Amino acid sequence: MSTLLAGRRVVVSAGPTFEDIDPVRFIGNRSSGRMGFAVAAAAAAAGAEVVLVAGPVHLETPAGVERVDIRSAAQLRDAVLAALPADVYVGAAAVADWTPRDTAGHKLKKQPGVERMTLELVRTPDVLAAVAAHRLRPRLVVGFAAETEDLVANARAKLAAKRVDLVAANRVGVPGSGFEAETNALTVVGEGFERALGPAPKAALADTLIELIAERIAGRS
């Protein structure tokens, strides 16, 4: 326990989103939610009041954390915006970029002789960009980026495009890092700032990330 974030309110999003096609099918992704849950736990252990907006994962709620369960990107956006004002937003959720234009109210059935089908998708709201542009913008907005190549360049592009303060970039597709791993390695970039963290267990990385966040908001108060 520490008091690094005492008196601060931190909103964290974690996990995948599921975008429903019909009552039994959805589009999801391989996010386990572990990194975001670890960040929420680390923020609470540092004395913050924490709201964790969690996608559909079966993980235990960290001690001292208020959890809001959501399913879709639209629900995630609503829950995150409802949790503002806050001092910090950490967008660790792997929010779907696309959702079915229409969700069928009944199970879609195969038709004899029909060998293909087209699913029309539309863009989801960009929650991170919405938080960063909000009138109640938290002092520090932190995004995550999952990249298979050009880690730092892609993270810097995201920093500028979404007008966030820090981007923690994950290398995915290599052992010991990313979505389904217990450990992770992050490169955190900000304006005039770059730091490599790990490889380390997600809990240890989350503690370091929270220290970094605490330093950066202390510098801005």
Cite the active site residues: 29
CB of residue 106 vs ligand CTP: minimum separation in angstroms?
27
Burial class (CB in 10 A: 0-12, 13-18, 19+), 175: exposed
CB of residue 18 vs ligand CTP: minimum separation in angstroms?
13
SS3 for 14? strand
What is the SS3 string spanning 114-151? CCCCCCCEEECCCHHHHHHCCCCCCCEEEEEEEECCCH
With a CB cutoff of 8 Å and minimum separation 6, the contacts of 197 are 168, 185, 186, 187, 188, 205, 208, 209
Question: Between residues 158 and 202, which has the closer beta carbon with respect to ligand CTP?
Answer: 158
Question: Between residues 108 and 136, which has the closer beta carbon with respect to ligand CTP?
Answer: 136
CB of residue 23 vs ligand CTP: minimum separation in angstroms?
23
Contact residues toward ligand CTP (CB under 6 A) are 13, 73, 91, 93, 95, 97, 124-128, 143-146, 158
Question: Between residues 104 and 130, which has the closer beta carbon with respect to ligand CTP?
Answer: 130
Residue type, 32: S
